[in-house]
């Protein structure tokens, strides 16, 4: 999962200070040696890693440990603050101050520009009530235009393209004119992926940039490529002077080098992250929240924000009443599963829960883990779903045959549902002590 290796290495580094009464030059040197090694293994720029550990050392040496913190905890706080500063300090949203906004996407081949262009259009359509136009300016990659057309149809956004035009700069200019004429107030231009050493391709995007004078130029980085992407970002920035960075594929086996290095190398804010293949797998980048996730503290704020996007107060009240009256049934359970699936990538959500990633260990989060549950519930009658206690051995056999799953799977589901119902009831009644006991008894 995202940053797991770096998280584990940093946790090991902080153990050096466990049981110590004070942060000294000797014990902090040993800890920071491990921190620097962890950063370099995560493919963080060497200069960045060195400056980072130097800054941490300056702030840590001689610090008196507060009564509520031990040296290890204090070091975690200092490292968290430095990680936050390293990644930009605070979130930097996209510039939408103009009534008509043009956004130019740039980046390497295979960085995920086309997919992210669609995600950004969908995000600004839903969140900012914009009227976007997607523009296909990749005239080189086979099926690039077709890919953008499919994405546009999927999110309900018009795509401008011209199969007969071989000049990407003219396509971009014509698209801007088309948008103004047809009542669009946002244009997102997807350009061809290019290599920094390809002079012809770099000149083309430079011409597009000069021709349309975009409000925002974003550089899209595949976060799994580490230092290669950071070095290329510098070359792109020298030519385009882009406004911000987008990190894609953060749901993959990301070491973290790009996220931690790019701000210090090009001095441009990371504005968005892509966390999956779905069109809603896009988040504004928050440096402090990402620092929490890297240190294994989770990101509850982002998780709550995703949930709030899916629930309204009326739905919450209805759900609370059902729980209070012990009327929460498997139909309601199924509805909650649908909501969870809409919240995005499961691996990403696990990383947002404090301690969950560590508890998972090497176990993979299966994106299809809900399919068995859905199959079992759909094989039940409405009466069985509303009152699972009536499911006897004969009903179990019928449900098992209908779902194609073993009776053991059904028994496991019914037990989990019963435990979850009790937990929800306890949470309503404030029984935190009993709730903790129950959670400790559950796998």
293 neighbors 82 (Cβ within 8 angstroms): no
Helix (H, G, I), strand (E, B) or coil at 283: strand
CA-to-CA distance for 278 and 280, rounded, in angstroms?
A: 5
Helix locations, 87-140, DSSP H: 113-127
Output the pLDDT for position 432.
44
Residue 1: what pLDDT?
46
Backbone phi and psi for residue 298, each to the nearest 5 degrees, phi listed first: 80, -175
Backbone torsions φ then ψ of 385, nearest 5 degrees: -70, -40
Where b means 16+ CB within 10 Å and e means fewer, 65-102 reads: beeeebbbebbbbbbbbbbbbbbbeebbebeeeeeebb
CATH number given to 101-297 = 3.40.50.300
* 302-441 classified as CATH 1.10.150.120: no
Structure tokens at 336: 């909650």
Question: How far is residue 76 CA from its own chain's centroid?
Answer: 23
Domain ranges of the chain: 4-86, 101-297, 302-441
Mean pLDDT of each 10-residue bin along the chain, 443 residues long: 65 66 70 82 82 84 56 77 86 84 88 91 92 92 88 94 89 94 94 75 88 92 75 83 87 66 84 84 86 70 62 67 74 78 65 57 61 88 89 91 90 84 63 44 43
Structure tokens at 407: 């009776």
Q: Judge: domain 4-86, CATH 3.30.70.1050.
A: no
**Entry pTM:** 0.69
Residues 6+ apart with CB under 8 A from 375: 403, 404, 405
What is the structure's pLDDT at 91? Answer: 83
Residue 219 phi/psi, 5-degree rounding, is -105, 120
Residue holding tokens 């800890």? 31
- Report the distance separating Cα 67 and Cα 330, nearest Å: 48
Q: Which strand (E) or helix (H) includes residue 272? A: strand 269-274
pLDDT number for residue 131: 94
Identical fold between 101-297 and 302-441: no
């Amino acid at each position: 999962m995202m940053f797991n290796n770096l998280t584990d290495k940093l946790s090991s580094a902080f153990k050096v200070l466990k049981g110590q009464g004070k942060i000294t030059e000797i014990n902090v040197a040993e800890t920071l040696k491990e921190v620097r090694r962890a950063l370099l293994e995560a493919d963080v720029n060497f200069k960045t890693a060195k400056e980072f550990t130097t800054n941490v050392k300056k702030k840590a040496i001689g610090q008196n440990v507060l009564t509520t913190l031990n040296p290890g905890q204090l070091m975690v706080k200092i490292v968290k603050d430095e990680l936050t500063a390293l990644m930009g300090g605070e979130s930097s949203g996209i510039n939408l101050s103009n009534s008509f906004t043009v956004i130019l996407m740039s980046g390497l081949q295979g960085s995920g520009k086309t997919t992210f262009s669609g995600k950004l259009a969908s995000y600004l359509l839903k969140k900012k009530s914009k009227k976007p136009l997607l523009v296909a300016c990749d005239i080189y990659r086979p099926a690039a235009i077709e890919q953008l057309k499919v994405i546009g149809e999927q999110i309900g956004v018009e795509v401008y393209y011209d199969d007969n035009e071989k000049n990407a700069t003219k396509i971009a200019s014509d698209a801007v004119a088309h948008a103004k004429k047809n009542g669009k107030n946002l244009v997102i231009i997807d350009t061809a992926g290019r290599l920094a050493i390809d002079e012809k391709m770099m000149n083309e995007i430079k011409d597009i940039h000069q021709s349309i004078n975009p409000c925002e130029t974003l550089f899209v980085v595949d976060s799994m490529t580490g230092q290669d992407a950071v070095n290329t970002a510098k070359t792109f920035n020298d030519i385009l002077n882009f406004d911000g960075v987008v990190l894609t594929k953060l749901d993959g086996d990301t070491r973290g080098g790009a996220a931690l290095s790019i701000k210090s190398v090009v001095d441009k804010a990371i504005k968005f992250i892509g966390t999956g293949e779905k069109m809603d797998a896009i988040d504004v980048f928050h440096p402090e929240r990402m620092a929490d996730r890297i240190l294994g503290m989770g990101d509850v704020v982002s998780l709550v924000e995703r949930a709030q996007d899916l629930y309204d107060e009326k739905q919450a009240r209805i759900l609370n009443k059902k729980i209070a009256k012990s009327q929460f049934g498997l139909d309601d359970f199924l509805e909650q599963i649908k909501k969870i699936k809409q919240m995005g990538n499961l691996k990403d959500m696990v990383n947002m829960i404090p301690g969950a990633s560590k508890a998972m260990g090497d176990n993979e989060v299966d994106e299809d883990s809900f399919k068995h549950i859905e199959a079992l519930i759909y094989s039940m009658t409405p009466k069985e779903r509303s009152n699972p206690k009536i499911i006897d051995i004969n009903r179990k056999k019928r449900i098992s045959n209908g779902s194609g799953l073993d009776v053991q799977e059904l028994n496991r589901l019914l037990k989990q549902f019963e435990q979850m119902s009790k937990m929800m009831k306890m949470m309503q009644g404030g029984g935190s002590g009993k709730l903790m006991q129950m959670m400790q008894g559950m796998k």
